[in-house]
Amino acid sequence: MYRIGGRFLQSIRYAGQGQNQNLQSSLRRNCSRGVEGSEFSLSMECGNNQNLTFKMGRLAKFADGAAIAQMGETSVLVTAVSETSPTRNSFMPLSVDYRQKAAAAGRIPTNHLRRELGPTDFEILTSRSIDRSLRPMFPAGYHYETQLVCNLLAVDGLNDPDVIAINAASAALCVSDIPFNGPVGACRVAFIDGKAVPHPTRRQMASSSLDLIVSGVKHSKIVMLEASADNLCVQDFMQSVKVGMKEVSKIVQTIEDFARTHGKPKREVAAYFVPSQEMISMAETLSRDQVYEVLTDFSHDKLSRDRALSVVRETALVKLTEAFPEADNFILQESLKAVVKKVFSDLALDEEQRMDGRKLNDIRNIYCETNLFEPLHGSALFQRGQTQVMCTVSFDSPHSSLRQLDPVSQLLDGNKEKNFMLHYEFPPYATNETGRSGRIGRRELGHGNLAERALKPLVPKDFPFTIRLTSEVLESNGSSSMAAVCGGTLALLDAGVELEGSAAGIAMGLISESDPEDPKHFKRYKILTDILGIEDFLGEMDFKIAGSSKKITALQADVKIPGLPIRVVMETISEGIQGTNEILKTMRKTIPKARSKKKDNWPVVEKFEVPAHKRSQLVGLAGRNLRKITAETGVTLVPLDDNAFDVFAPNQTALLEAKEMMNSVLAESREPTLEFGGVYTAKIVEVRESGVMIQLYPNMTPTLLHNSQLDQRKVNHPSALGLTVGQEIRVKYYGRDPVSGHMRVSRKVLQATPSTVLRNHMSDSKSTPDKS
């Protein structure tokens, strides 16, 4: 309560800046709801005969905004809280935390603490999707720290909660008093049997060739796209986007009606940190010519251009500070940034010129090289302009594949094995910076996931090894994730992986001028192909597309303005595919197809048959023999269900050495060959409750002769027959059990049946004369 009270007191102090009445009424509204409160809900019909329902008013009433979105039996609660004191960040300080609680699936976490330890990869990727969908819709200059907490309340195993969470977050912001230019709607689209299916269930997704998430706003504008496809045609992909936008428009209208009826009035903030027109005009007077000179000097590279712009900025900042002594330094820097962006936009819109001398649809120079290091299974270097990526391929045992351990993900996806993984690394030296090396943050995870989804559909489903593809960015000047796709393709081909087609990736940008009379369209715009890092920073879109000729494997679109017309999105996809085809032509000159001749260090997988009764002999006491073989040869031995071992060796030499050691272990105590149906003399070595352990030969493993096979009569314990350790008995051999490998022997079959004994006795009695 102290923290909540402190927040309200802070709001009251902030109210002294001319908003006392509004904040006091907000305070009364929060306090008057009571514990139970009133719940408001609104539903809409969506695909697959399901309803999407929004609720508010009963849970998390202290938050600035809270909403529940439910589809089927999957429910997500999202709370929104925004501080009343601004921060001096150069970007909107928005944080999104999406968490999947095992309790929502009726499960208990399997780790040693039996509780959620930290965000999983899926949680981080979902948080990024929510952030990218909502961030463009906050007002410019709103630099008040805002946090969205997404809590999975229940999951039914049919409806994925990630898209539901985007809609819930949008609803929470719309019903709150936080400034937000929404609503935003989101829809997942599948492509099944030649038809786009909105809001698919988990079972439908299992047979879909597309996993597409579309986020958009009213007027059919798109703010975020996230897609992975199994070599889907461009026309089918475009149709799926249109189907998704139809559903998004319905969701946006529903959230808008919900917020209009039950939402709070938007708060008035102290200031939006946007430079005044007077500041921008003076900054333009002081620096426009110098900025134009830097941006049209095509001899600059990334570092020299940044240094030159920094000099211009620092010089102009001194004069701006003198002219506006009371202005915040951050606002003055924003005015100079606006000048750089204006010059950059004018160059593209008016002169169709870019700062490195390329035309709008030109691709930077490309250099490819494979087989960098002979000991590696596969390696490649891909360089596009000043973006350089080195990729390496490692093969390992199929049993080293990654498995999903998160209970909620198990319920949604099943305990599937992941035999292809791509790990993306972005060290600080790639941008001439210092920092902690080896740290895998949200950005690295997101970029790696995008590149992995671009290549995964091309890897053969029956490939005999687990593949780990690493992509390390050595230099970065834009679109390093798409360079990872290109370099990854080259490395896989160098490793001898027969891909179902090569894939390349490219990043597209946008410069536009809005039309105040028609919000659905731009007054004019230009699409940039293969953008630089500074073009990504100053531009309005980062549109990454990966695929092969006329087909798409992955797509990710991040928009920095409040939505893109769908026509611009379609045009960007078409130009992006043309760019990927040009890149593929260069890649094919380096390595046109998978390496046919295997390297000497290629791993080998072989099945090693072991009789069932000798498996324990091969394994050894507590697995000692297996550990010894692995330590000395480097092979991995995995027992199978069919009396065999799966032997994975790093190379052919290691396999031969391991097989020699295994045969040696099995030959140490070679047993004599027994004849089926043969009668043998066995020695009793142990007496048990269930029978006696017998040994046919001194070098053979003892086997159990069960009580049921000791005598024709029923025997409860071997002592009833006077059997003792060391005694020799006659048994008949009937082979080995095909499953356990145990010998099947019997003593009672060698004994005469009771009826035979009686018949012989009667025959003897008749033949004997009566002496009486």
Whether pLDDT at 739 is above 80:
no
**In which band, very low, low, confident or very high, does the pLDDT at 225 lie, cut at 50, 70 and 90?**
very high
Considering its fold, how many domains does the chain have in total? Answer: 6
β-pairing, 210-217 vs 185-192, is antiparallel
Residue 497: Cβ-neighbour burial (10 angstroms; 0-12, 13-18, 19+): buried
> If you average pLDDT over residues 527-549, what whole number do you get?
93
pLDDT tens per residue, range 510-523? 999 887 777 677 88
- The dihedral formed by the CA atoms of 758, 764, 767 and 768, expressed in degrees to the nearest 10: -120
User: How much is the pLDDT for 614?
Assistant: 73
User: How much is the pLDDT for 642?
Assistant: 64
Residue 391: which of 484, 465, 464, 475 has the closest Cα? 484
Please report, for the domain that includes residue 647, its CATH number.
Answer: 3.30.1370.10
Residues 496 and 643 reside in one and the same domain: no
In-domain check, residue 393: yes
Residue 356: which of 410, 406, 300 has the closest Cα? 300
Residues 21 and 112 reside in one and the same domain: no
User: How much is the pLDDT for 15?
Assistant: 38
In-domain check, residue 529: no
Whether pLDDT at 10 is above 60:
no
H or E segment and range at residue 147: strand 144-154
Selected residue with higher pLDDT from 38 and 585: 585
User: How much is the pLDDT for 30?
Assistant: 39
Selected residue with higher pLDDT from 508 and 39: 508
CA dist 745 and 726 (Å) reads 18
Q: Which residues have a Cβ under 8 Å from the Cβ of 260 and sit 6 or more positions away?
A: none
Residue 391: which of 491, 495, 497, 493 has the closest Cα? 491
**In which band, very low, low, confident or very high, does the pLDDT at 416 lie, cut at 50, 70 and 90?**
low
Please report, for the domain that includes residue 284, its CATH number.
Answer: 1.10.10.400
**Stretch among 68-82, 226-240, 560-574, 614-628 having the lowest mean pLDDT:** 614-628
Q: What is the DSSP string of 452-479?
A: HHHHGGGS-TT-SSEEEEEEEEEE-SS-
The sheet that has 366-370: what strands, in order across it?
366-370, 378-384, 387-396, 466-475, 420-425
Whether pLDDT at 770 is above 60:
no
Whether pLDDT at 180 is above 90:
yes
User: How much is the pLDDT for 7?
Assistant: 40
Selected residue with higher pLDDT from 522 and 764: 522
In-domain check, residue 730: yes
CA dist 451 and 553 (Å) reads 10
Give the DSSP letter of residue 279: H
Residues 162 and 146 reside in one and the same domain: yes
Residues 345 and 215 reside in one and the same domain: no
**In which band, very low, low, confident or very high, does the pLDDT at 49 lie, cut at 50, 70 and 90?**
confident
Residue 230: which of 255, 205, 208, 246 has the closest Cα? 208
> If you average pLDDT over residues 600-610, what whole number do you get?
83
Residues 22 and 47 reside in one and the same domain: no
Residue 369 CB neighbours (<10 A):
16
In-domain check, residue 434: yes
Please state the φ and ψ torsions of residue 583, each to the nearest 5 degrees. Answer: -65, -40
pLDDT tens per residue, range 520-537? 778 899 999 999 999 999
Domain boundary among 237, 262, 287: 262
Its domain, for residue 747, covers 679-756
User: How much is the pLDDT for 671?
Assistant: 62
In-domain check, residue 466: yes
92-119 per-residue burial string, b: 16 or more CB within 10 A, e: under 16: bbbebebbbbbebbeeebeeeeeebeeb
User: How much is the pLDDT for 360?
Assistant: 94
Please report, for the domain that includes residue 162, its CATH number.
Answer: 3.30.230.70
**Stretch among 360-364, 463-467, 757-761 having the lowest mean pLDDT:** 757-761
Residues 433 and 569 reside in one and the same domain: yes
Selected residue with higher pLDDT from 114 and 34: 114
Whether pLDDT at 668 is above 70:
no
Q: What is the pTM of this model?
A: 0.82
CA dist 696 and 674 (Å) reads 10
Give the DSSP letter of residue 194: T
Residues 109 and 193 reside in one and the same domain: yes
- The dihedral formed by the CA atoms of 291, 292, 296 and 300, expressed in degrees to the nearest 10: -10
> If you average pLDDT over residues 105-110, what whole number do you get?
80
In-domain check, residue 236: yes
CA dist 199 and 163 (Å) reads 9
Domain boundary among 235, 262, 289: 262
**In which band, very low, low, confident or very high, does the pLDDT at 762 lie, cut at 50, 70 and 90?**
low
Residues 247 and 288 reside in one and the same domain: no
H or E segment and range at residue 85: strand 74-86
Residues 215 and 138 reside in one and the same domain: yes
Residues 389 and 500 reside in one and the same domain: yes
Whether pLDDT at 658 is above 70:
yes
> If you average pLDDT over residues 24-51, what whole number do you get?
62
Percent over 70 (pLDDT), the chain: 88
Whether pLDDT at 293 is above 60:
yes
Whether pLDDT at 640 is above 50:
yes
Whether pLDDT at 16 is above 80:
no
Whether pLDDT at 403 is above 70:
no
Please report, for the domain that includes residue 690, its CATH number.
Answer: 2.40.50.140
Contact 35, 59 (CB under 8 A): no
Whether pLDDT at 159 is above 70:
yes
> If you average pLDDT over residues 202-222, what whole number do you get?
93
263-273 per-residue burial string, b: 16 or more CB within 10 A, e: under 16: bbeebebeeeb
H or E segment and range at residue 578: helix 566-590
Q: Which two tokens stand for residue 135?
A: 């961030």
Contact 580, 611 (CB under 8 A): no
Cross-strand bridge partners of residue 731: 680
> If you average pLDDT over residues 742-749, what whole number do you get?
86
Mean pLDDT of the chain: 86
Percent over 90 (pLDDT), the chain: 55
In-domain check, residue 625: yes
**Stretch among 22-26, 85-89, 631-635 having the lowest mean pLDDT:** 22-26
Contact 447, 480 (CB under 8 A): yes
Residues 515 and 646 reside in one and the same domain: no
Domain boundary among 204, 230, 262: 262
User: How much is the pLDDT for 415?
Assistant: 55
Contact 167, 52 (CB under 8 A): yes
Q: Which residue has the tokens 């010129």?
A: 353
3-state helix, strand, coil in the chain (%, to 5): 40, 25, 35
Residues 140 and 19 reside in one and the same domain: no
Whether pLDDT at 446 is above 60:
yes
CA dist 546 and 524 (Å) reads 27
CA dist 14 and 11 (Å) reads 5
In-domain check, residue 291: yes
> If you average pLDDT over residues 654-680, what whole number do you get?
80
CA dist 106 and 408 (Å) reads 9
- The dihedral formed by the CA atoms of 247, 505, 413 and 215, expressed in degrees to the nearest 10: -20
β-pairing, 94-99 vs 144-154, is parallel
**Stretch among 206-220, 588-602, 730-744 having the lowest mean pLDDT:** 730-744
Whether pLDDT at 756 is above 90:
no
User: How much is the pLDDT for 670?
Assistant: 59
**In which band, very low, low, confident or very high, does the pLDDT at 102 lie, cut at 50, 70 and 90?**
confident
Q: Residues in the chain, how many? A: 772
> If you average pLDDT over residues 391-409, what whole number do you get?
78
CA dist 280 and 259 (Å) reads 36
Please state the φ and ψ torsions of residue 211, each to the nearest 5 degrees. Answer: -125, 100
**In which band, very low, low, confident or very high, does the pLDDT at 626 lie, cut at 50, 70 and 90?**
confident
> If you average pLDDT over residues 226-246, what whole number do you get?
94
β-pairing, 466-475 vs 420-425, is parallel
CA dist 619 and 613 (Å) reads 11
Q: Which one-letter amino acid corresponds to residue 295?
A: L
Contact 75, 53 (CB under 8 A): no
User: How much is the pLDDT for 198?
Assistant: 94
Distances (CA, A) of 213 to 34, 230, 529, 697, 731: 38, 15, 23, 70, 72
Whether pLDDT at 593 is above 50:
yes
Contact 78, 164 (CB under 8 A): no
User: How much is the pLDDT for 328?
Assistant: 83
Q: Which two tokens stand for residue 236?
A: 């089918």
Contact 633, 658 (CB under 8 A): yes
